A and B are shown apart, each in its own frame.
Chain A
Amino acid sequence: MAASIQSTPVGRGDAWWARLAVTAFCFTLFGLGGLVLGLAIFPIYWLLPGGERARRERARRTLALAMRAFVWLMSSLGGISYEIHGAARFGRAGQLVIANHPTMCDVIFLLGFSRDSCSIVKHQLFRNAFTALAVSQSGYVKNEPTDAMIEHASAVLQGGQSLIVFPQGTRSRPGEAMRFHRGAAAIALRAAEFITPVFIWCTPVVLGKGQPWYRVPPRRPHFVLQVGEDLPLAPYRGERPPPVAARQLNQHLIELYEARLSAGPLH
C-alpha cells in the first residue's frame, strides 16, 4: 500500500496526467473551434441574407451548440463532471438570469444550456477580430458602466428576450467577499419581469481567476449549476425611488448568494 501512495505524488490523484492531457486537448480544440467560427462560419453568416432576428437566432444557436459540444467533450473525456438542474427555465421573455462567476466555464455552461438568450459580455470581445462578428451577430450587449449599456440591456428585456448577466463582472477569487456591480439590479428594476438566479459551485475550482489552464486541480473538478426560484421584482418597485431600490435589491442579491453558496448545492 505504501508503494502505491508514493507512486501518486501529493495533489496529483484522480488520473491527473490524463486530465492534464484532456484539458490541453480540449483547450486546443476550443481555440481551433473559435478560429473556425470566427474566421469562417460567422463571416459566412454575415454574407447570408436574413433579417436581424433571423441572424441573431442563427448566431446564438451556433454558439450554444459549440458550447454544448465543448461541455460534452470535456466531460465525456473525463476532464470535468457536471450536473445542471432547472435548465428548462432559461430563455423566458423578460427574464434576467444572474449567476455567480467562479470559473471561466460558467459562461460556457450558461450559453450552452440556455436557448436564444442575450448576454452582457466584455467590451473587448467587440474589438477582438476572432469574436467581434460572433458577439455582434448574436446581438449581445457590450459591458460598460454607462447609461447606454443600461438602456440597451433594458430594451433587450422589454423586447421579450432573456438576458444573462454576471453581476460580479469578473471571475471571483475564492474567499473573497461577494461583490455585485449594481448595474444588474438597475437593469432588473427598469425592465425585467423577474430575476432567475443561478448558483454555480465548482470543486475544486478550475480555470478560476489567475489560474492557468495547465494548473489542473488534484481531483476532477465537479460543476453543479442550480437554477433557483424566480425572484419577483414588484416588492422593489414603486415604494422607494429607483436608485435607492436598486441598492436594496443589489444588497438582497448579495445576501442571497452568500447564503446559498456557503450552504452548498440543495439535494
Chain B
Amino acid sequence: MQSREQIHDMVRDSLAELFELDPTRIKLDAHLNDDLEIDSIDAVDLIDRLKKSTGKKMTADDFRSVRTVNDLVLAIERLQAS
C-alpha cells in the first residue's frame, strides 16, 4: 500500500516520462487538459502506463471524473484500496 505522497511521485514520474514534461509543471492542482495538454486521446497510453506502474487492473471508467493531477492521485489511491 503506497502513501498518497508515493502515488503522487509515481504519477509525476509517469506523466513526465510519457509526455516528456518538465516534472515541476506536474503540480497537484495542474489541470491535465488545460495545463498539461493531455486529452482523451492520450487516455489509452496513460492507463497502459499506470497499469504497469501500479500492477493494478484499471479501465478508463475509473478515471471518468479526473480533471487534475490530484484527481488522478486520489483515483489511484481508491483503486489500490479496493
Which A residues have a C-beta under 8 Å from some C-beta of B? 145-148, 150-151, 181-183, 186, 190, 240-244, 246
- Whether a CB of chain A sits under 8 angstroms from the CB of B44 is yes
* Cα A145 to Cα B45 with chains together (Å): 14
Count of B interface residues, CB-CB < 8 Å: 15
Q: Which of B31-68 contact A (CB under 8 A)?
A: 38-47, 60
Interchain CB contact (< 8 A) of B41 among A150, A240, A241, A244: A150
Most chain A beta carbons < 10 A, residue from B38, B43, B45, B60: B45
Contact partners of A182 in chain B: CB under 8 A? 39, 41
Interchain CB contact (< 8 A) of B20 among A145, A183, A241: A241
CB distance from A192 to the nearest CB of B (A): 15
Interchain CB contact (< 8 A) of A241 among B40, B45, B47, B60: B45
* Cα A244 to Cα B41 with chains together (Å): 12
Is the pair B44, A151 in contact by a Cβ cutoff of 8 Å?
yes
A186 touching B41 in the complex, CB below 8 Å, given contacts A146-B60, A147-B47, A147-B60: yes
CB distance from B11 to the nearest CB of A (A): 15
Contact partners of A246 in chain B: CB under 8 A? 41
A241 touching B44 in the complex, CB below 8 Å, given contacts A146-B60, A148-B60: no
* Cα A243 to Cα B18 with chains together (Å): 7
Contact partners of B60 in chain A: CB under 8 A? 146-148
- Can you give 18 A-B contacts (C-beta < 8 A)? A145-B39, A145-B40, A146-B60, A147-B43, A150-B41, A150-B44, A181-B41, A182-B39, A182-B41, A183-B41, A240-B20, A241-B17, A241-B18, A241-B20, A242-B45, A243-B18, A243-B46, A244-B18
Contact partners of B39 in chain A: CB under 8 A? 145, 182
Is the pair B19, A243 in contact by a Cβ cutoff of 8 Å?
yes
Contact partners of B20 in chain A: CB under 8 A? 240-241, 244
* Cα A145 to Cα B41 with chains together (Å): 6
- A241-B19, A243-B46 known; 9 new pairs, CB 8 Å cut-off, are A145-B40, A146-B40, A150-B44, A151-B44, A240-B20, A241-B18, A241-B45, A243-B19, A243-B38
CB distance from A147 to the nearest CB of B (A): 4
* Cα A146 to Cα B17 with chains together (Å): 22
* Cα A100 to Cα B35 with chains together (Å): 30
Contact partners of B45 in chain A: CB under 8 A? 186, 241-243
Q: Which 3 A-B pairs have the closest CB atoms?
A: A147-B43, A147-B60, A147-B44
Is the pair B40, A190 in contact by a Cβ cutoff of 8 Å?
no
Contact partners of B38 in chain A: CB under 8 A? 243
